[in-house]
Amino acid sequence: MSERIRVWDLPTRFFHWLLVLSFAGAFFSADSERNRDLHVLFGYTILGLISFRLIWGFIGSRYARFSSFVYYPKVVYLYLCQLIQNKARHPVGHNPAGAVVIILLLLLGIASGLTGWAVYEDIGTDLLPEWHELISNAMLAVVCVHITGVLVSSFLQGENLIATMITGKKQGEANQAIVSNVSSLAWLLLAIVIALWLWAWPATKGLVWLRQMLPW
Ligand code: HEM
């Protein structure tokens, strides 16, 4: 019998929303030279968060593991065909099409962070800033695909997937639920990120930036 079950552990959810914040921060601080330090801070945060997620992909709970959402291309293709025919069965974890986008986001996040770091440290060729911009714009495009995919999947599955990334709960069978929320690790992750931001905030002149961004 179908019921509300826990699917996403707390570290995965904190990772997701911290990544969203950091990506938005990096995006809005990208253009001006004055906000460079803030942009670098968000870039480092993205790299740190994705490093955590890579490890969590091996030792995390059931649906957070790569083994549950790295699919063969043929499976992705079949899923898309079934989706078009409205015959697709939606897994409790990431669906095959969404999983491809998620893996792309993680890879582009690493590539954007590393090229950004190299530009900041003045390592590499003169073309590197252009590569950094190109990769970051590609990531923005994939984020748009991701958000569209989430909205379309929510409609097709008849379940608000955005809410599931907040509560961690989805409709499913009792035996499909994850056992633990791993809350203590999630709070540790959040504390580390907040401590990093607070520590770096004065150096980034973040308050000045924030005041400029606010409409009032
Ligand atoms: C406000 C906009 C966003 C919303 C509403 C949103 C929503 C979601 C939802 C609902 C999922 C779970 C999908 C599923 O059920 O399979 C998800 C997963 C994910 N999203 Fe987003 N997302 C947003 C923005 C972003 C951004 C900006 C990034 C990257 C920069 C991102 C990266 C990811 C990743 C990596 C996952 C996989 C989570 C994991 O397993 O660790 N999302 N998102």
Q: What is the CATH number of the domain that holds 45?
A: 1.20.950
> What was the pLDDT predicted at 1?
72
Ligand 1 center to 142 CA (angstroms)? 11
> What was the pLDDT predicted at 77?
97
Report the nearest atom of ligand 1 relative to the CA of 24: 27
Task: Pick the residue whose CA is nearest to atom 16 on ligand 1.
Answer: 94
Task: Pick the residue whose CA is nearest to atom 3 on ligand 1.
Answer: 147
Give strand pairing partners of 2: 173
Instruction: Return d(Cα 167, Cα 13) in angstroms, integer.
Output: 8
Number of other residues whose CB lies within 10 A of the CB of residue 36: 14
Token digits of residue 136: 């970051």
Q: Are 56 and 11 in contact (CB under 8 A)?
A: yes
Position 216 pLDDT exceeds 70: no
Ligand 1 center to 85 CA (angstroms)? 25
Q: Distances from the Cα of 123 to the Cαs of 6, 48, 135, 190, in angstroms? A: 45, 20, 17, 31
Q: What percent of the chain has pLDDT over 90?
A: 84
Close Cβ partners of 85 (under 8 Å, ≥ 6 residues apart):
none
Position 114 pLDDT exceeds 90: yes
Ligand 1 center to 127 CA (angstroms)? 31
Q: Are 7 and 167 in contact (CB under 8 A)?
A: no
Instruction: Return d(Cα 58, Cα 118) in angstroms, integer.
Output: 28
Position 205 pLDDT exceeds 70: no
Token pair 């770091």: residue:
117
> What was the pLDDT predicted at 207?
59
Confidence grade of residue 209 (pLDDT, cut at 50, 70, 90): low
Instruction: Return d(Cα 144, Cα 76) in angstroms, integer.
Output: 20
Confidence grade of residue 203 (pLDDT, cut at 50, 70, 90): confident
Instruction: Return d(Cα 68, Cα 110) in angstroms, integer.
Output: 21
Give strand pairing partners of 170: 5
The model carries a pTM of 0.93
Instruction: Please give all residues whose beta carbon lies within 6 A of any atom in ligand 1, as ranges.
Output: 12, 15-16, 19-20, 23, 53, 64, 94, 98, 102, 105-106, 143, 146-147, 150, 161-162, 164-165
Classify the C-alpha dihedral 15-16-18-19 as positive or negative. positive
Report the number of distinct structural domains present in the chain: 1
> What was the pLDDT predicted at 211?
63
Confidence grade of residue 200 (pLDDT, cut at 50, 70, 90): confident
Token pair 């580390």: residue:
192
Position 132 pLDDT exceeds 70: yes
Average pLDDT for the chain: 94
Position 175 pLDDT exceeds 80: yes
Q: What are the pLDDT digits (tens) for 61-80?
A: 999 999 999 999 999 999 99
Q: What are the pLDDT digits (tens) for 14-59?
A: 999 999 999 999 999 998 888 888 999 999 999 999 999 999 999 9
Domain that holds residue 189: 2-213
